[in-house]
Amino acid sequence: MTTTESGSSDPDQRNRSLPVIENFSRRAAVKGAFATLGAGAFVAAVSPLRQASKNSSAAEFLQTHYTELSPEQKEGVLARLEAEAKEEYDADVTIADDRPIPGTKFVYAINLSVCNGNGKCVEACHKENNHDRDTNQSYIRVLEMPKGTLDMEQGTTSYSGVVPKGDKFYLPVQCQQCDEPPCVDVCPVKATWKEEDGIVVVDYNWCIGCRYCEAACPYHARRFNWKKPEVPADEVNPDQSYLSNRIRPTGVVEKCTYCLHRTRRGRLPACLEACPTGARVFGNILDPSSNIRWILENKRVYILKEELGTKPAFFYYFD
Amino acid sequence: MSSITAATENRSHVSSYPKFIGRSLWLATEGSFAFYAWMTMLTAVFLVGANAWANQVAGGMIGTNMTDQVSWGLYIANFTFMVGLAAGGVMMVIPAYLYHDRKMHDVVIIGELLAIAAIVMCLMFVVADLGRPDRFWHLFPIIGKFNFPISMLTWDVIVLNGYLLLNLHICGYLLYMRFLGREPNPAWYIPFVMVSIVWAISIHTVTAFLYCGLGGRPFWNTALLAPRFLASAFVSGPAFIIVAMVLIKKLAGVGGLDQPIATLTKIIRVTILVNLLMVASELFTEFYTGGSHVSAAKYLFFGLHGKTALVPWTWTAIGLNVTAALLFLWPGLLQFRRRPLLIAACCMAFVGAWIEKGMGLIIPGFVPSTLHEIVEYIPSQLEWKVTVGIWAFGLMIFTIAIKTALPTLKQPADR
Ligand code: SF4
């Protein structure tokens, strides 16, 4: 078969100096009808979008980047988010805007000789940070490692049975709050950044959900909201902050924030408080009298994947 | 055809340009029954994809099979491949403009139009992969927040859109001059063509840098990635164009395509070997060195701890690539009566490159995960629907573009 040219199917047409108007308009009408039909079918095909747009307001759509919000705008945003939590989760929450305390740089350390892999930190994180109940999400993963190696390839995150096992040690991994965070570098829209106290945060209302940061992170610290988080009203932690544990929107990335809604108010991270063995130590490294400072100065500490040059603010040691 | 060149020269561009667009659209939607059937079929498939995507946006990306461990899947795999296809068109441009191959010069617009369709598909795949497509505007410079120059993704946004604009300008200008019946002025397009040659290399290099710059992903973290991307792009691009040319010749009776087909075949003969050489050298380094760096490659080729989802994909790709390479090396492939075999070889090379650069490259970057968990990934039905829908849309653009350009192809302009 051959593809025909304009009008060449009608031999008369080519010989005339003017196009045949009736034929032209008839074909135009047919094409117009097809185009309309196609457009209509397209509108029908993407109709689920209307459902999606119902869940997001114009104010949310137009909201600017966190760092560019004026104090009044910020207030409006926080009030809107609180109202949303009420509407969608039937929970009365307060969403604060906790800022870094000057002269603070938070650092974490875990004593691997003491950690026994009971996973209480994983659970505490799950509750504290309003994680999706369905997927049992948490920012912490614990690897069960055979003694005699630090090679994570030998470990497993899906261990079960009574812990601790004699020939194993346990390695909890969460966001390392790197000083050279690859996840921050790769973000195309600056939706994630490092704050003055060392905490890497995400503006959940600016993230476009490309998941480039998730690919860039060497510690599997980031999580994506594949679906709307489900938290029953009575289980919602109402004590929230904009940059940390407020219930996240669908389709954005989230991560451990060293519980900044607690730590910036002088409390300890939830995972530390929940740990029954006392393996976890947290504090301000700039404070010479802090516990964490003593540990870093006196213990032989190591960091994960040092060769990548990410400079974690998270340390491990054995007694 | 006479109608497309009939416009008078004296009229201003303000009135003649819209006419040109209208005329082109009219022409592009004229055709035989088979043409309408083809376009209707593509539209239907595209609508299925659009519907699947709308459901994904409404219900969250839980409808895909991606996970926090394998956080990119079929969409980014296709995106990577399509960047290559877009860059591959330059293998027509280089002989045409740098080596003054007249026959190639006459039909070079096919490669440029392919670049346009492929880049549009790239952009669609990126949007399909976004968790929040409604926040797309955050990516725009000035009104959004553009993390340039640190984020490689912003570079990619620039080079891909730049390449799209370059090719739109070159094709648009040449077709418009044709419509006006004027001789194209080299000053208005030759410099752009030269820039587009360098630019084509850049789009695939930057796309490789997206992956190879990530220290936490040993499988991607290799300096060979960008050269490998280019080599395989210069296989898949020409392979697609050869098949397209054979079809254009057959369906639209365009002449003068045989010599360009031969030239492209000779190009593939070299690039397919270069690509295989690089793959082999990569694999040697991985497997001979051993250690933890090899686990992704092990997973890809043989499976790891009993998980083998990618093994059939990768061996299919190797089989296709090697068979295609052998066929291309055989001089008899150029004989006219062996056209079906040439087409088969092109299809094998094309599919081989698609697997190698998609499922065979993106997925093993995530398996095992950075904490050495092995979570497997096989695309979900929704992902396939969206993907096939975008392909249908791309083919629609390509078909319409080629139809618009047919008069130019049939009467090669003296440019
Ligand atoms: S997923 Fe969000 S935070 Fe991560 S790189 Fe993309 S936009 Fe930035």
Task: Report, in angstroms and rounded to the nearest whole number, the Rg of chain B calculated over CA atoms.
Answer: 22
Residue B411 confidence (pLDDT): 53
Assigned token pair, A62: 């137009």
pLDDT at A6 over 50: no
pLDDT, tens only, B35-72: 999 999 999 999 999 999 999 999 999 999 999 999 99
Is A226 a residue whose pLDDT tops 70?
Answer: yes
Averaged pLDDT for residues A44-71? 88
Helix residue ranges, H only, A129-240: 182-186, 212-216
Residue B32 and residue A216: Cβ atoms within 8 Å? Answer: no
The token pair at A219 is: 């510690």
Domains of chain B with bracketed CATH: 11-410 (1.20.1630.10)
| DSSP H or E stretch at residue A280 | strand A280-284
Identify any residues that bridge with A108 across adjacent strands, giving them in sequence order.
A282, A314
Binary contact (B251, A153; C-beta < 8 A): no
> How far is the alpha carbon of B361 from chain A, nearest alpha carbon, in Å?
13
Position B348 pLDDT exceeds 50: yes
Reported as half-sphere exposure (CB side, CA atoms, 13 A), residue B402 has a value of 24
Asked if the model's pLDDT at residue A3 lies above 80, the reply is no
Q: Which chain A residues contact residue B292 at CB under 8 A?
A: 151, 153
Inter-chain contact B135–A4, Cβ cutoff 8 Å?
Answer: no
| Degrees, nearest 5: CA angle A242-A244-A249 | 70
CA distances from A99 to A93, A196, A241, B131 (A): 19, 9, 10, 28
pLDDT digits (tens, 9 = 90+) for A65-123: 999 999 999 999 999 999 999 999 999 999 999 999 999 999 999 999 999 999 999 99
Residue A18: pLDDT above 80? no
Q: Tell me the shortest Cα–Cα distance from B100 to chain A, in angstroms.
A: 30
Give the Å distance between the CA of B134 and the centre of ligand 1: 14
CB neighbours (10 Å) of residue A110? Answer: 25
Q: What pLDDT does A19 receive?
A: 45
pLDDT average, residue stretch B87-104: 93
User: Which H or E run includes A255?
Assistant: strand A253-255
- Mean pLDDT (chain B) is 92
- The kind and range of the H/E element at A312 are none
**pLDDT at B6 > cutoff 50:** no
Ligand 1 atom, smallest distance to A190 CA: 8
Enter the pTM of the model. Answer: 0.93
Q: How many CB pairs under 8 A join A and B?
A: 204
Would strands A314-317 and A106-111 be described as parallel, antiparallel, or unpaired?
Answer: parallel
Q: Which two tokens stand for residue B185?
A: 């002025």
A12 burial type by CB count under 10 A (0-12 exposed, 13-18 middle, 19+ buried): exposed
**B366 has a pLDDT exceeding 70:** yes
Give the pLDDT score at A202. 98
pLDDT bracket for residue B11 (50, 70, 90):
low
Tell me how far apart the alpha carbons of residues B194 and B175 are, in angstroms, rounded to a whole number. Answer: 18
CB contact under 8 A, B68 and A65: no
Preceding amide of A164 cis, omega within 30: yes
Q: Are A185 and A204 in contact (CB under 8 A)?
A: no
Q: Is the pLDDT reported for residue A17 higher than 60?
A: no
pLDDT band at B15 (very low <50, low <70, confident <90, very high): confident
Which band of pLDDT confidence, cut at 50, 70 and 90, is reported for residue A7?
very low
Query: How far is the C-alpha of A69 from the C-alpha of B34, rounded, in Å?
Result: 57
By the CB < 8 Å criterion, does A143 face chain B?
Answer: yes
Spacing, Cα B127 to ligand 1 middle (Å): 14
Cα distance from A265 to chain B (closest Cα, Å)? 30
pLDDT tens digits for range B236-259: 999 999 999 999 999 988 988 999
Q: Which residues line ligand 1 (CB under 6 A)?
A: A 186-187, 189, 191-192, 202, 207-213, 253
CB-based contact A205:A113 (threshold 8 Å): no
The least confident of A56-70, A282-296, B77-91 is: A56-70
The residues in B 10-29 lying below 8 A from A, measured between CB atoms, are 26-27, 29
For residue A4, with 0-12 CB atoms within 10 Å meaning exposed, 13-18 middle and 19 or more buried, which class applies? middle
| Helix residue ranges per DSSP H, chain A | 11-15, 21-45, 48-54, 58-62, 71-89, 120-128, 182-186, 212-216, 260-263, 270-274, 291-298
Q: How many angstroms separate the alpha carbon of residue A222 from the centre of ligand 1?
A: 10
Decide if B32 and A225 are in contact by the 8 Å CB cutoff.
no
Alpha-carbon gap: B120 to the closest alpha carbon of chain A (Å): 18
pLDDT above 80: residue A16: no
Q: Which residue of A has its CA nearest to B127?
A: A210
Range 114-143 of B in CB contact (< 8 A) with A: 126, 129-136, 138-139
Q: Per the CB < 8 Å rule, is A41 touching B151?
A: no
Contact B61 A226 (CB under 8 A): yes
Euclidean distance between CA atoms B361 and B80, whole angstroms: 9
The size of chain B, in residues, is 415
Burial class (CB in 10 A: 0-12, 13-18, 19+), A18: exposed
Radius of gyration of chain A from Cα atoms? 28
Omega before A249 cis (within 30°)?
Answer: no
The answer to whether A218 contacts B292, with C-beta atoms less than 8 Å apart, is no
Question: What is the distance between the alpha carbons of residues B388 and B48, in angstroms, rounded to a whole number?
Answer: 9
The per-residue pLDDT for A190 is 97
Ligand 1 centre and the CA of A251: distance in Å? 10
Nearest CA in chain B to A18: B3
Interface of B with A in 374-413 (CB under 8 A): 403, 406-407
Beta bridge partners of A316: A110, A302
| C-beta of residue B415 within 8 angstroms of C-beta of residue B184 | yes
Residue B138: which of B122, B157, B125 has the closest Cα? B157
The residue segments making up the domain with residue A135 are: 1-319
| Chain A residues close to B3, C-beta within 8 Å | 6-7, 19
Q: Relative to the CA of B151, which ligand 1 atom is closest?
A: 5
Among the listed residues B167, B35, B178, the one whose alpha carbon sits nearest the alpha carbon of residue B106: B178
Per residue in B303-343, pLDDT (tens digit) is: 999 999 999 999 999 999 999 999 999 999 988 899 999 99
A215 with B366: Cβ contact below 8 A: yes
pLDDT in tens, B82-95: 999 999 989 999 99
- B60 near A CB under 8 A: yes
How many domains is chain A partitioned into structurally?
A: 1
CA distance B288 to chain A (A): 19
A residues 86..115 contacting B (CB < 8 A): none
Best mutation target, B154, B155, B298, B370, to test chain A (most A CBs within 10 A): B370
DSSP SS3 for A316 = strand
- What is the structure's pLDDT at B29? 86
pLDDT digits 0-9 by tens, B179-211: 898 999 999 999 999 999 999 999 999 999 999
Look up the ipTM and state it: 0.92
CA B128 to chain centre: 17
| CA-A186 nearest atom, ligand 1 | 5
**pLDDT tens string A121-169:** 999 999 999 999 999 999 999 999 999 999 999 999 999 999 999 999 9
Cβ–Cβ < 8 Å for A104, A284 = yes
Among chain B residues, the shortest Cα distance to A53 is held by B58
Residue A212 has pLDDT above 80, yes or no: yes
Encoded amino acid at B359, one letter: M
Q: Find the helix packing angle between B381-410 and B225-252, rounded to 10°.
A: 60
Helix, strand or coil, per DSSP, at residue A100: coil
* Lookup result for tokens 């307001």: A57
Task: Give dist(CA A243, CA A247) in Å, integer.
Answer: 10
Nearest to B171 by CA among B391, B8, B409, B9: B409
Whether B138 sits inside 8 A of A225 (CB atoms) is no
Burial-class residue A164 by CB neighbours within 10 Å (0-12, 13-18, 19+): middle
Least confident of A22-31, A38-47, B158-167: A22-31
pLDDT, position A14:
43
On the question of pLDDT at A55 being above 80, the answer is no
pLDDT greater than 70 at residue B413: no
Which chain B residue is nearest to residue A65, measuring alpha carbons? B145
What average pLDDT does the segment B90-114 reach? 93
Name the DSSP class of A3.
Answer: P
pLDDT on residue B293: 80
C-alpha B159 – ligand 1 centre gap (Å): 20
Please report, for the domain that includes residue A90, its CATH number: 3.30.70.20
Q: A252 CA distance to ligand 1 centroid (A)?
A: 7
Query: Looking at residue B309, what is its pLDDT?
Result: 95
Does A302 lie at the interface with B, CB-CB under 8 angstroms?
Answer: no
Higher-pLDDT residue of A31 and A180 is A180
pLDDT for the residue A107 = 97
pLDDT for B7 beyond 80: no
